[in-house]
């Protein structure tokens, strides 16, 4: 992925000129940029605007020049950062994009020519006493305004997204990610069974950023691979440290989330297996979690991959069960050891007969297929009680503990848990 880099342009200098071939786009961090053709100024762009994006997509000739009106700092977006997205996009979308770009380029050309005509016409018109048509006509202004409002939201979204990608890259380099551990409790008899490792990002300005906000982006850019590898390494070392210091039960397990990329990209998958087998933690204390949606998106490819994981001796958990559009019938095909019932069922099971029955059915089916069950997101005593009555083996949720720092997780293991 492209690195974040900035370029500064002193007042009066050109970023590019009309006719240049350049495949980068620029985001104005501070300063002002004037976009112009020989016919006149098209726009003056302030901070946070993006320009040059067409060249980024099709490497065409610049249809206008860009000049700094004051000392200006730009964030440079390289073609590489966008190209991987375009490559992965749906072919229909790619086609539409190229169509749109061609149209936009012809419109630009037509507008330039029109500008020329307008200038010539102005000279003629002045002689004939006709009104001079300009691009400042009210119709044109209204059109521009409408267009601007329509793209503004999209634009802001894309900018935030590009910035986030670059920040994630920086965060990897600056080691801003760390791992927390949420206890997974055996419900009866009540004690700690293990932990789930969860990633956290301490952003220098925004504070803690939720994994929900950056995991999907990290996944798309491939940065999930170094991040995931760090989580795996840190979490396995943590178990090793507890074992060597004889803290908590010797059999304490560590659940680690795998992303689609770590699962389906052969070299990344190999790296995961290597990390698991290369660690001194007994493999059956490692539980690799794969979400139901990952399985459902690629039902044909998962069988072999899951079997390979099983061959390392690690255990396999099916995460977020109930959130995908799966049917129960596929469950028996795959060698999962654990089924994690999604929080959305757990939080609605008390006082709701239907949801309670759904959880009962899920637990029953899992047991019939030889799987153990972890209920996710337990927040109330009533939920823990109801799950215990359904013979659900394990529970995880704020009722028992929020995700903890390594230090707090160690303390959690050292104290006897109070019955819940």
Q: Segment contacting ligand C2E (CB under 6 A): 45-53, 167-175, 187-195, 393-401?
A: 393-401
Please check whether residue 376 is in contact with residue 368, taking contact to mean a CB–CB distance below 8 angstroms: no
Does the footprint of Ca ion cover residue 292 (CB under 5 A)?
no
Nearer CB in complex with ligand C2E: 54/179: 179
Q: In the block, which residue shows the tokens 């209920």? A: 375
Q: Report which of 252, 334, 248, 251 is spatially closest to residue 291, judged by C-alpha positions.
A: 334
Does the footprint of ligand C2E cover residue 81 (CB under 6 A)?
no
Cross-strand bridge partners of residue 197: 181, 256
Does the footprint of Ca ion cover residue 257 (CB under 5 A)?
yes
Rounded least distance, CB 178 to ligand C2E, Å: 11
Whole-angstrom distance, CA of residue 333 vs CA of residue 40:
67
Helix axis angle for 138-173 and 79-88, nearest 10°, is: 100
Rounded least distance, CB 294 to Ca ion, Å: 11
Among 63, 72, 182, 317, binds ligand C2E (CB under 6 A): 182
Q: Which does 401 bind (CB under 5 to 8 A by kind): ligand C2E, Ca ion, none?
A: none
Give the side-chain half-sphere CA count within 13 A for 357: 3
Please check whether residue 196 is in contact with residue 396, taking contact to mean a CB–CB distance below 8 angstroms: yes
Does the footprint of Ca ion cover residue 289 (CB under 5 A)?
yes
DSSP secondary structure letters along 179-221: EEEEEEEETTTTEEEEEEEEEEEEETTTEEE-HHHHHHHHHHH
Nearer CB in complex with ligand C2E: 290/390: 290
Whole-angstrom distance, CA of residue 188 vs CA of residue 352:
24
Site for Ca ion in 372-401 (CB under 5 A): 376
Nearer CB in complex with ligand C2E: 122/260: 260
DSSP secondary structure letters along 86-101: HHHS-HHHHHHHHHHH
Q: Segment contacting ligand C2E (CB under 6 A): 42-50, 307-315, 382-390, 391-399?
A: 391-399
Q: Report which of 341, 336, 248, 331 is spatially closest to residue 288, judged by C-alpha positions.
A: 336
Site for Ca ion in 317-356 (CB under 5 A): 319-320
**Site map 302..341 versus ligand C2E, x via CB under 6 A:** -----------------xx---------------------
Site for ligand C2E in 189-208 (CB under 6 A): 198-199
Name the residues that contact Ca ion, by CB under 5 A. Answer: 257, 289, 319-320, 376
Name the residues that contact ligand C2E, by CB under 6 A. Answer: 182, 198-199, 210-212, 215, 228, 231, 257, 259, 319-320, 343, 377-379, 396-398, 403
């Amino acid at each position: 992925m492209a690195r974040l880099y900035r370029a500064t342009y002193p007042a009066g200098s050109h970023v590019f000129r009309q006719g240049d071939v350049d495949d980068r786009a620029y985001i104005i961090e501070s300063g002002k940029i004037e976009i112009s053709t020989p016919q006149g100024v098209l726009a003056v762009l302030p901070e946070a605007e993006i320009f040059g994006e067409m060249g980024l997509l099709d490497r065409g000739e610049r249809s206008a020049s860009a000049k700094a009106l004051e000392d200006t700092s730009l964030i440079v977006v390289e073609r590489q950062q966008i190209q991987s997205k375009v490559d992965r996009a749906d072919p229909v979308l790619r086609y539409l994009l190229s169509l749109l770009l061609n149209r936009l380029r012809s419109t630009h050309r037509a507008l330039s020519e029109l500008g020329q005509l307008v200038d010539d016409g102005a000279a003629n018109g002045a002689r004939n006493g006709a009104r001079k048509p300009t691009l400042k006509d009210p119709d044109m202004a209204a059109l521009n305004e409408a267009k601007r409002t329509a793209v503004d939201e999209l634009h802001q979204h894309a900018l935030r997204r590009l910035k986030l990608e670059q920040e994630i890259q920086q965060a990897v380099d600056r080691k801003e990610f760390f791992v927390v551990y949420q206890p997974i409790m055996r419900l009866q008899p009540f004690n700690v069974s293990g932990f789930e490792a969860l990633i956290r990002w301490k952003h220098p300005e925004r504070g803690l950023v939720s994994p929900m906000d950056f995991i999907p982006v990290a996944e798309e850019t491939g940065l999930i691979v170094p991040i995931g590898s760090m989580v795996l390494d840190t979490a396995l070392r943590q178990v090793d440290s507890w074992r060597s210091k004889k803290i908590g039960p010797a059999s304490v397990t560590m659940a680690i989330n795998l992303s689609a990329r770590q699962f389906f990209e052969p070299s990344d998958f190999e790296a995961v297996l290597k990390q698991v087998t290369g660690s001194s933690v007994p493999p059956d204390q490692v539980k690799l979690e794969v979400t139901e949606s990952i399985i459902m998106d690629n039902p044909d490819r998962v069988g072999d991959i899951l079997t390979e994981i099983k061959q390392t001796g690690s255990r396999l958990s099916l995460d977020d069960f109930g959130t995908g559009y799966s049917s129960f019938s596929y469950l028996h095909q795959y060698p999962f050891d654990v089924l994690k019932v999604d929080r959305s069922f757990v939080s609605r099971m008390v006082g709701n007969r239907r949801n309670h029955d759904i959880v009962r059915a899920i637990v029953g089916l899992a047991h019939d297929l030889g799987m153990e069950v972890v209920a996710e997101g337990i927040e109330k005593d009533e939920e823990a009680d109801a799950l215990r009555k359904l013979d659900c083996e394990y529970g995880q949720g704020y009722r028992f503990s929020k995700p903890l720092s390594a230090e707090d997780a160690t303390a959690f293991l050292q104290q006897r848990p109070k019955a819940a």
